[in-house]
């Protein structure tokens, strides 16, 4: 069972994923953050090299997802459609190869985390609160356009969020 944990920047995706991992669930961590940090070390601006950046993220995401066995319960810290959302949010046309990959991906559940009202950036996520909300809405609409029911989880205390996610997924 592939469950995508998604949402705009600073919505608590990675925090939730780490907690699920701590509780013994299999998780696959976000690739974009890893690539952004590598680009920063090399002095490459991923915003100015969006096509190259998204291609690298997609390539690694597909490699990451090959590790998922049929029927295995796994939580994904975002997946392919989020790359499309960033193109749209930046007023750019997403490349056809990214659209095709998003249409081919299959998920059992899509869980959208609502934004943290105390929006905080870090070295990777630099969008302001308004941009983060915009990206979140784009992500929600993309998954719906791809035919998924999007389960929204409010920004509440971490343990409560974990309980809500488990209930949505039908696990204990």
Q: Where are the domains of the chain?
A: 2-169
- Confidence at 49, pLDDT banded by 50, 70, 90: confident
- Confidence at 126, pLDDT banded by 50, 70, 90: low
pLDDT digits (tens, 9 = 90+) for 136-149: 999 999 999 999 99
Q: What is the pTM of this model?
A: 0.88
DSSP string of 5-21, one letter each residue: EE-STTSSHHHHHHHHH
- The closest alpha carbon to 165, from 23, 28, 8, 64, belongs to 23
- The closest alpha carbon to 15, from 25, 29, 32, 2, belongs to 29
Superfamily of domain 2-169: P-loop containing nucleotide triphosphate hydrolases (3.40.50.300)
């Amino acid at each position: 069972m592939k469950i995508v944990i998604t949402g705009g920047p600073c919505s608590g995706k990675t925090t939730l994923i780490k907690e699920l991992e701590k509780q013994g669930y299999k998780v696959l961590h976000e690739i974009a953050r890893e690539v952004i940090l590598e680009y920063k070390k090399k002095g490459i601006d991923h915003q100015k090299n969006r096509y190259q950046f998204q291609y690298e993220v997609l390539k690694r995401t597909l490699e990451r997802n090959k590790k998922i066995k049929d029927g295995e319960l796994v939580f994904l810290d975002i997946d392919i459609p989020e790359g499309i959302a960033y193109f749209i949010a930046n007023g750019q046309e997403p490349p056809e190869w990214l659209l095709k990959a998003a249409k081919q991906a299959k998920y059992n559940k899509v869980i959208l985390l609502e934004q943290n009202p105390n929006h905080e950036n870090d070295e990777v996520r630099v969008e302001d609160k308004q941009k983060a909300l915009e990206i979140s809405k784009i992500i929600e609409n993309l998954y719906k356009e791809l035919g998924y029911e999007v389960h929204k989880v409010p920004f509440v205390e971490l343990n409560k969020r974990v309980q809500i996610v488990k209930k949505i997924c039908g696990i204990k």
